[in-house]
Structure 1
């Protein structure tokens, strides 16, 4: 059967299975899998994901991270997490031979549902107005459901591939994780190419930002100056540092030349103040200068930038700004990382990557009925660096549309989800090759 006929059959399957496809994504959302560092409750979700893979005929492997040889000794391993009852899962759909291989890799864990009110419960998986609502619907259970449904599509249509396909669900990506992704590589899931179905609004990202979260702590001299002694408000220093960070964002983007994949997006590297805490919160009434202050902040970097480089730039800017913030000369911060620095990365250049990106464009054109958006760098950090920097497998990031990731009323657009299922199925055909074509 020729490729045009296969694509027509795939398109019809997508139309006929929209209700079932939406229900699968909803079911994944209805299984809470929140990451609570250093622990996480991905177990029930991973068991269900393994069952889905088994039902599709995959060769399923479920394994605990502590059983992975060389994981804890690997230089990219972060040692601050616990992995009891937090298994990784991968399913292998073996090819008949002669085709190229592919893995769809995504994280099972989500961030905390939060205390903000939701119109629907965060784990109800509500479907309304063409959207699937719930924690993880957009980031990134919808994308992983699309990979499962693409596999089901080819399976039910009886389309056999020459190349092998893996679908992998890993634990502990949120909050600076990625040990689960590293474990997958050490377990030997290193095919020719990878797709990470993080939410990209159907834009293919061959590169992603890096970033880190740091804590700045301030110690002042507290009290009330009855005897004229000099007091130092740690709160004033904390607020001054927050203002300095806002100015540092402009300096950072002046000093760092935009990476080519971000040069057309007009998106600058971000420096974000995440939280401020100061004073004795247990006192009935705060009647004295605060003795301490804490501020958490996030700074992004392009591929190739390091956390050391970012902090060196920040400290140099800090020293240059002391005339404008005299309190910071008296009350200097102690800065420590709160998560591992997530390295930015990009797909390795080469003929194979070019061929894959060509396949992505062709299959996307079929699925979207238009050419996909041009290749760009992602506006977020993720675990793609575990592929691009610590394995032989380049990783593309491609996922559905939606909004409110990590916030209340997170949702995935269902029309984009159906398009993504077709895109993934067409990509499997193009890259791994169907028997008989």
Structure 2
């Protein structure tokens, strides 16, 4: 079968199976798999995922992270998580031989549904106006459903691949996890190339940002100054530090040379205040200066930047700004990490990466019926560093379009989902090779 005939079969299959493909993605959303560090409830979802892979004919392995030798001793392992009843799943679709291999790797866990109201409910998997709504629809159950549907497409179309294809669903990626992804590498799933179907709006991301979340704690001197004693408001210090962090964002981007994959987009590294707490939050009426304050914040980094480098720049800026924030000289924060620092990473340079990216661009033109958007760095951190930095497998991030990730009314655009299924199928054909070539 010539290449154009293969693409025609793929296109016909996509058109004829849209309702079934949408139903699968909806079904995944309807299985809650919320991560509540240090625990998570991914078991039901992972079990369903494993059964779906078996139905497709995969050789399926479902394993506990505790059974992976060397995991907890690995320098990239993050301590403090409980993996009871939180198995990883991977399925292998063996090729006929002599082809290049590929893994689609995604996380089965989601962030929690939040306190904001949802129009349709976070776990109903509602399909409306060309969109699939629900927690995880966009981040990233839709992308993983696309990988499974792409395999089904090739099977139904009678297209036999030479190279092996793997689909793995890992636990605990959200909230700085990534131990599940590391376990997959140590378990031996290290094909020639990886695709992580995080939501990219159909833009190929050969690199992703890093970042960390830290907690700043302030201790002041509480009370009311009846006797003229000096009091120190921890709330004032916390607010001042929040203002300093907003200014630090500009300084950070002055100190760090823009990475080429982000410079053209004009997106700068972000520094974000996530939450502020001070005083007795159980009492509406406060009668004294608050004695304590807490602030959580996020700082991004390019590939190659470290947690130590970021904190060093922050503390240097802190000292330089004390004349502008005198309260911070009296009430200094204690800064501790709330999650691991998620290293930024990029696909290693070389012929395999170049060939794969050329394949992605060529097949994307077929799937999208237009030239794909230029490759760039992602605007988010993810677990790609476990591939690029801790395994021999380079990882590309590529997924569907949508919006409201981690927020109420999260959704995936179904048209992008169908295009992604085709794109994944076309990639497998060109990268893994087909029988009869």
Q: Which bin holds the TM-score, normalised by the shorter protein?
A: over 0.9
CA displacement at 1:285 relative to structure 2: 2.0
Aligned to 1:418: 418
Residue 388 of structure 1 corresponds to which residue in structure 2?
A: 388
Mapped to 1, the partners of 2:368 and 2:213 lie a distance apart of 37
Shift of residue 158, structure 1, vs aligned partner: 1.5
Matches within 5 A, 1:128-207: 128-207=128-207
Q: Which residue number in structure 1 is paired with residue 218 of structure 2? A: 218
Unaligned stretches of 5+ residues in structure 1: none
Match of 2:364 in 1: 364
Separation of aligned partners in 2, 1:186 and 1:362: 32
Mapped to 1, the partners of 2:418 and 2:412 lie a distance apart of: 11
Q: Which residue of structure 1 lines up, in the alignment, with residue 263 of structure 2?
A: 263
1:157, distance to aligned residue in structure 2 (A)? 1.2
Residue 312 of structure 1 aligns with which residue?
A: 312
Equivalent position SS for 1:216:
strand
Q: Which residue pairs with 1:46 in the alignment?
A: 46
Partner of 1:108: 108
Question: 2: CA distance between counterparts of 1:246 and 1:75?
Answer: 32
DSSP-derived class of the 2:425 partner: helix
State the Cα distance separating 1:284 from its structure 2 match.
5.6
In 2, the alpha carbon distance for the partners of 1:109 and 1:261 equals 28
Instruction: Give TM-score scaled by structure 1 length.
Output: 1.00
Q: Residue 277 of structure 1 aligns with which residue?
A: 277
TM-score by length of structure 2 reads 1.00
- The aligned counterpart of 1:246 is 246
Q: Partner of 1:61: helix, strand, or coil?
A: strand
RMSD (CA atoms): 0.5
CA distance in 1 between partners of 2:291 and 2:175 (Å): 29
- The match for 2:322 is 322
The separation in 2 between residues aligned to 1:253 and 1:427, in whole angstroms, is 36
Q: Which runs of 5+ in 2 are unaligned?
A: none
d(CA) in 2 for partners of 1:213 and 1:267? 20
1:405 — aligned with what?
405
Q: After superposition, what is the alpha-carbon deviation per residue over 1:150-170, rounded to whole angstroms, capped at 9, x for unaligned?
A: 000011112110100000000
Shift of 1:282: 3.1
String of CA shifts for 1:386-419, please: whole Å, max 9, x gaps. Answer: 0000000000000000000000000000000000
| 1:121-161 CA distance string (max 9 Å, x none) | 10000000000000000000000000000000011112110
Q: Distance in 2 between matches of 1:113 and 1:103?
A: 29
Tell me the residue number matched to 1:88: 88
Shift in Å at residue 281 of structure 1?
A: 2.0
Q: Secondary structure of 1:322's match?
A: coil
Q: Distance in 2 between matches of 1:12 and 1:180?
A: 36
Once the two structures are TM-superposed, the CA of residue 79 in structure 1 deviates from its matched residue by: 1.2
